[in-house]
């Protein structure tokens, strides 16, 4: 644990919506200090003053496109970047390992990509870091196991019109947990035509306006429907979870963890 229990953070994607939320929330907590921000070269060139651009009121922040320079002063790295930024970050952490909290989605084989780093330090990887959504993850697998083959299961997710990945990483994680509990295949949407429902778990995506994030799982049984729903009312819930994960990663042994480990809802699978 760093001296004085203050964690120095590097935020990857710190000029983005989530990165800004993490920085601002960290600025309200004496247990955290943002020392560096890693961003794309064009974003760095267009930003003369990080504090002026984001509302950051703490001390000096190194704003850089150099991943090695960004991670060097940090105790923990918090990543809310795009896939291109993720590649540069992994290369830097391979040379200078730091505990990592990553919420970046849309990356193929992300778990396999993180495994070498997790052998050297703690890595928390989650498609969604809100406490409520991670409770939804746990409940989805539990209910799916209890309902068994009797339920038709549908997942609906809604996000703002600018979200790039479809379906959301959160919806895919819900489906994965249901699939592990039931052994049932997952399908994304339905095509036009005539189809009879089988035993698939379906995911449906909605993109509109400024919706922060909504997820619903419906289990249809004989004569009844059970729904589990979560709505993110502000991005601050994700930032709060990320900081909680950062504190966990700073203290944990090397390994690959989920937010459920952070919340004590399940044991790490080694």
Largest CA distance in the chain: 64
Catalytic amino acids?
159, 163
Strands 201-207 and 152-159: parallel
CA dihedral 138→142→144→148, nearest 10 degrees, is 160
**Token reading at 165:** 């990945």
Q: In this structure, are residues 225 and 239 in contact, taking their beta carbons and an 8 Å threshold?
A: no
Cα 27 to Cα 53, 54, 55, 121, 230, distances in angstroms: 15, 12, 10, 25, 27
Which residues does 28 contact at the CB level (< 8 Å), separation at least 6? none
């Amino acid at each position: 644990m760093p001296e004085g229990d203050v964690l120095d953070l590097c935020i990857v994607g710190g000029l983005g919506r989530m990165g800004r939320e993490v920085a601002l929330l960290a600025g309200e907590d004496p247990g955290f200090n943002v020392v560096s921000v890693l961003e794309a070269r064009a974003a760095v060139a267009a930003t003369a003053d990080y504090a002026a651009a984001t509302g950051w009121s703490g001390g000096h922040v190194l704003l850089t496109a150099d991943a090695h320079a960004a991670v060097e002063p940090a105790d923990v790295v918090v990543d809310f970047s795009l896939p291109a930024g993720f590649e540069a970050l992994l290369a830097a952490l391979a040379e200078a390992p730091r505990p990592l909290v990553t919420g970046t989605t849309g990356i193929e084989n992300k778990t396999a990509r993180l495994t070498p780093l997790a052998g050297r330090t703690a890595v928390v990887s989650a498609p969604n870091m809100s406490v409520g959504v991670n409770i939804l993850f746990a409940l989805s697998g539990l209910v799916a196991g209890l309902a068994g083959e009797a339920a038709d299961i549908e997942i609906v997710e809604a996000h703002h019109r600018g979200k790039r990945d479809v379906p959301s990483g959160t919806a895919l994680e819900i489906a994965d947990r249901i699939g592990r509990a039931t052994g049932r295949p997952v399908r994304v949407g339905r095509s036009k035509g005539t189809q009879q429902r089988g035993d698939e778990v379906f995911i449906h995506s909605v993109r509109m306006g400024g919706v922060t994030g909504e997820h619903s799982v419906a289990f249809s049984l004989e004569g009844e429907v059970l729904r589990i729903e979560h709505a993110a009312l502000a991005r601050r819930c994700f930032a709060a979870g990320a900081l909680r994960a950062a504190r966990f990663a700073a203290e944990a042994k090397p390994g690959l963890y989920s937010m459920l480990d952070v919340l004590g809802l399940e044991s790490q699978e080694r």
